[in-house]
């Protein structure tokens, strides 16, 4: 599990016209050069970027695309996530076949994306929209990760005060979600400090990690944050949080179990930090999000979404439950047992 991808926040594009395709393609090519994909894979990446933006322009409502680097150990790749709010597709497997079209075009878009990608996943629901996630790596095929997340800044801001991190420390599979107080650069700086301290923290249970983050963030404006540790082999999830980070375990039957965070702000005063344990069996999903995401979503409203990758699940929830008047972050992690 030490090879799971680590991603940066990336760049969001609003895709409303065909002219956006060239901007996205050029940005993808530049990013491919920066992470040293190699010319052949950069050419493949350009095809993926062009097809994703073309699909959003031709078929989608309120289309947006996220472009960001993704890293696994010493290797780097490029990730693209295309999100729209409709009209959706009833059968993605049919829509991905070459020659299938809903607009009279050649219909090769999704098929071309899947062929050029190292990893590809998607979810679509008629009336709600579609999420397409793609990774392009230099050579070896990518494997789906046990955790995936996205952040989005408040409308009008260029940086997000919300963020996340994923690590495996001495066999402990842990995730962090942080919401820096306020918005803008100072909130982002608090979350950056939380992520750095999280990655450098000694291996230990979530309560010990949260205490470490609290001490390390004393020079910042502070943040609400939570740390979870997945131990599906033991059927358990360990959790500790401060402030209003929402945490939910979803069992295989779709039932939700809320996770407890205590009042407090990491980096300020002397908050009480306490760890809690919850059942986490086969097929379980962990969802964590900042208060920029409303907690009214229900997985039962999305048939088949629990079977998709954590990244696609996180993107779908961010689209439908995220609010534009606040920074937003959604993280999803799955049981691999």
Q: Which residues pair with 135 in a beta bridge?
A: 79, 119
pLDDT > 90 in the chain, percent: 69
Contact between 50 and 44 under an 8 Å Cβ cutoff? The reply is no
3: pLDDT strictly greater than 80: no
pLDDT single digits (tens) 221-247: 999 999 999 999 999 999 999 999 999
pLDDT one-digit tens code per residue, 135-170: 999 987 667 789 999 999 988 888 999 999 999 999
Please determine, for residue 1, whether its predicted confidence score (pLDDT) is greater than 70. Answer: no
**Torsion of Cα atoms, 229 then 233 then 236 then 237, to 10°:** 20
Q: Is the pTM of this model over 0.85?
A: yes
What 3-state class would DSSP assign to 252?
coil
Q: What does the pLDDT average to over 106-120? A: 77
Q: DSSP letter at 233?
A: G
- Let me know: does 67 contact 80? Beta carbons within 8 Å: yes
Write out the two tokens for 326: 């606040």
Band of pLDDT at residue 253, cut at 50, 70 and 90: confident
Taking the C-alpha atoms of residue 275 and residue 261, their distance in angstroms, rounded to an integer, is 9
Helix (H, G, I), strand (E, B) or coil at 100: coil
Q: In what order do the strands lie in the sheet with 276-279?
A: 162-169, 172-180, 223-231, 236-242, 276-279
Tokens describing residue 129: 């929209």
Average pLDDT in the chain: 89
SS3 at position 207: helix
Longest C-alpha distance within the chain, in Å?
63
């Amino acid at each position: 599990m030490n090879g799971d991808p680590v991603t940066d926040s990336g760049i969001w594009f609003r895709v409303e016209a065909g002219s956006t395709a060239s901007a996205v393609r050029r940005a993808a090519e530049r990013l491919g050069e920066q992470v040293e994909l190699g010319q052949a894979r950069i050419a493949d990446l350009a095809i993926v970027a062009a097809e994703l933006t073309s699909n959003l322009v031709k078929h989608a409502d309120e289309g947006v695309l996220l472009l960001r680097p993704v890293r696994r150990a010493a290797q780097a790749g490029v990730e693209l996530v295309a999100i729209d709010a409709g009209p959706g597709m009833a059968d993605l497997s049919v829509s991905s076949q070459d020659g299938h079209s809903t607009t009279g075009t050649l219909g090769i878009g999704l098929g071309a994306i899947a062929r050029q990608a190292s990893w590809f996943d998607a979810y679509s629901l008629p009336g709600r929209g579609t999420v397409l996630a793609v990774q392009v790596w230099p050579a070896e095929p990518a494997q789906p990760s046990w955790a995936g997340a996205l952040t989005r800044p408040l409308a009008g801001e260029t940086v997000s005060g919300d963020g996340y991190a994923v690590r495996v420390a001495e066999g402990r599979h842990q995730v962090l979600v942080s919401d820096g107080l306020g918005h803008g650069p100072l909130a982002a700086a608090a979350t950056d400090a939380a992520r750095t301290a999280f990655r450098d923290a000694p291996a230990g249970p979530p309560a010990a990690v949260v205490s470490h983050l609290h001490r390390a963030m004393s020079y910042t404006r502070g943040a609400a944050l939570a740390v979870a540790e997945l131990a599906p082999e033991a059927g358990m999830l360990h959790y500790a949080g401060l402030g209003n980070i929402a945490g939910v375990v979803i069992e295989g039957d779709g039932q939700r179990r809320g996770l407890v965070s205590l009042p407090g702000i990491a980096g300020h005063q002397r908050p009480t930090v306490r760890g809690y344990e919850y059942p986490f069996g086969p097929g379980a999903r962990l969802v964590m999000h900042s208060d920029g995401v409303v907690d009214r979503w229900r997985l039962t409203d999305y048939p088949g979404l629990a079977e998709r990758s954590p990244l696609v699940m996180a993107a779908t929830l961010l689209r439908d439950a995220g609010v534009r008047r606040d920074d937003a972050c959604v993280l999803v992690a799955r049981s691999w047992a």
